[in-house]
Amino acid sequence: MNTLRFFRFSLIVTSLLVSIALATAAGQAVDTSTLRSRALASAIDTVPPKSVIETQFTIQSGTLTLPGTLTVPAKYNHQIPVALIVAGSGPTDRNGNSAGPLRAQNNSNLYAILAWQLATAGIASVRYDKRVLGDNLQKIDLSSISIDDFIADAIAGARRLVADRRFSKVILIGHSEGAELVLQAVNRGAPAAGIVMMSGVGRPITVVLREQLSKQLPPPELVKWDSAFARYLRGEAPGDVHPGLMSLLQPTNRRFMQSWVKYDPVVEIAKVKIPVLIVQGGRDIQVSESDARALKTAQPAATLFVIPAANHVFRAALSDDRLAQAKLYIDPTIPIVPELGPAIADWVNKLK
């Protein structure tokens, strides 16, 4: 694999941005034939175990209807807790897999598997497709989307669930970028008894993005990036920058990035008045353990649970090597770490 191809692949694996247009552009820049064939060879259908029942569930957010899946235990006869699972960045569907060509880099089925484990533990859940997927993609203007739209979707989902008499309490579970979204959703009025942040950053995205790039760019190219990104956020042409970075500076994604860079996770978590569980993998090459500890410091009442072997999609990783971890993102048959489901379920069941 040549240097440029590895560089571009690393950007995709680290899922630094959310827009489907940007993510698709980045994916098209990569020769994914080998990864795609491996992913397809090991792909499995989203078939739940017999211990759970799944039905269609929709969330009305403004003019959009977000399709989703409700997962409940096969047998229950009383009100049970329900979790709203909010996806991470990129064109990520309700199951935690990427759409289109990027399926070859992200096919972990993480959210579906987590939903099944929670249901087995007596906790229902709803997971939904992001507004940039499916039929909704034709109903929106990508260039006008901001982070507020995704926050609004999470709020709408929480309100729908809290009004459902089948459920005793609502928990918001956000993964990666979704961890940021659930924080802001609660601070803007989403009704919830608690928040679970899985692999949530503890620094502004500009800092995280620059750190990621500093591991892959020589210093002169990093200086060019700093100037180009500043111009991009001001609404100007980015100018001279490494060709592999142009997919991160598309005009279509400008408004979203302008809204995202204003968000500071430690400021946001400090405002939260409900219980928070922070779950972090020790082998996560996208979000570090120091991010989780920064969140904990900002919200001392939060519970921090670190799973040493877990990577960003909560598979057991033997090292921090990016290429070695790549297969953990694309093979849904690899089990998630055994600690994840029970840790979340135990925490939820202890909430008042």
pLDDT digits (tens, 9 = 90+) for 253-301: 999 999 999 999 999 999 999 999 999 999 999 999 999 999 999 999 9
Tell me the pLDDT band of 242, cut-offs 50, 70 and 90: confident
In this predicted structure, what is the pLDDT of residue 137? 85
Q: How far apart are alpha carbons 157 and 35 in whole angstroms?
A: 34
Q: String of b and e for 115-152 (b: at least 16 CB within 10 Å)?
A: bbbbbbbbbbbbbbbbbbbeebbeeeebeebebebbbb
Question: How many angstroms separate the Cα of 314 from the Cα of each of 129, 138, 177, 280, 339?
Answer: 20, 32, 15, 9, 9
Tell me the pLDDT band of 352, cut-offs 50, 70 and 90: confident
Tell me the pLDDT band of 109, cut-offs 50, 70 and 90: very high
What are the φ/ψ torsions at residue 69 (nearest 5 degrees)? -130, 130
In this predicted structure, what is the pLDDT of residue 12? 35
Domain holding 252: CATH number?
3.40.50.1820
Q: How far apart are alpha carbons 58 and 254 in whole angstroms?
A: 29
Q: How far apart are alpha carbons 75 and 80 in whole angstroms?
A: 11
Mean pLDDT value across residues 225-238: 95
87 and 156 Cβ atoms separated by less than 8 Å? no
In this predicted structure, what is the pLDDT of residue 46? 59
Domain hosting residue 274, numbered range: 3-350
In this predicted structure, what is the pLDDT of residue 262? 94
Question: How many angstroms separate the Cα of 322 from the Cα of each of 191, 216, 312, 336?
Answer: 38, 12, 11, 18
Is residue 18 predicted with pLDDT exceeding 90?
A: no
When comparing pLDDT for 132 and 11, which is higher?
A: 132
3-state secondary structure of 191: coil
Element spanning 285, H or E: none
Amino acid at 124: A
Number of domains in the chain: 1
In this predicted structure, what is the pLDDT of residue 21? 29
41's CB contacts (< 8 A; 6+ apart) are none
Average model confidence (pLDDT) for the chain? 86
Is residue 43 predicted with pLDDT exceeding 80?
A: no
Question: How many angstroms separate the Cα of 193 from the Cα of each of 153, 170, 189, 209, 217?
Answer: 18, 6, 12, 32, 43
177 and 268 Cβ atoms separated by less than 8 Å? no
Tell me the pLDDT band of 217, cut-offs 50, 70 and 90: confident
85's CB contacts (< 8 A; 6+ apart) are 94, 111, 114, 115, 125, 126, 127, 128, 173, 174, 175, 178
In this predicted structure, what is the pLDDT of residue 226? 94
Q: How far apart are alpha carbons 146 and 140 in whole angstroms?
A: 12
When comparing pLDDT for 246 and 314, which is higher?
A: 314
**Tokens encoding 155:** 């709020």
In this predicted structure, what is the pLDDT of residue 302? 98
Q: How far apart are alpha carbons 235 and 60 in whole angstroms?
A: 32
In this predicted structure, what is the pLDDT of residue 163? 97
pLDDT digits (tens, 9 = 90+) for 142-185: 889 999 999 999 999 999 999 999 999 999 999 999 999 999 99
In this predicted structure, what is the pLDDT of residue 9? 32
- The dihedral formed by the CA atoms of 341, 343, 344 and 347, expressed in degrees to the nearest 10: 150
Mean pLDDT value across residues 195-214: 93
Tell me the pLDDT band of 25, cut-offs 50, 70 and 90: very low
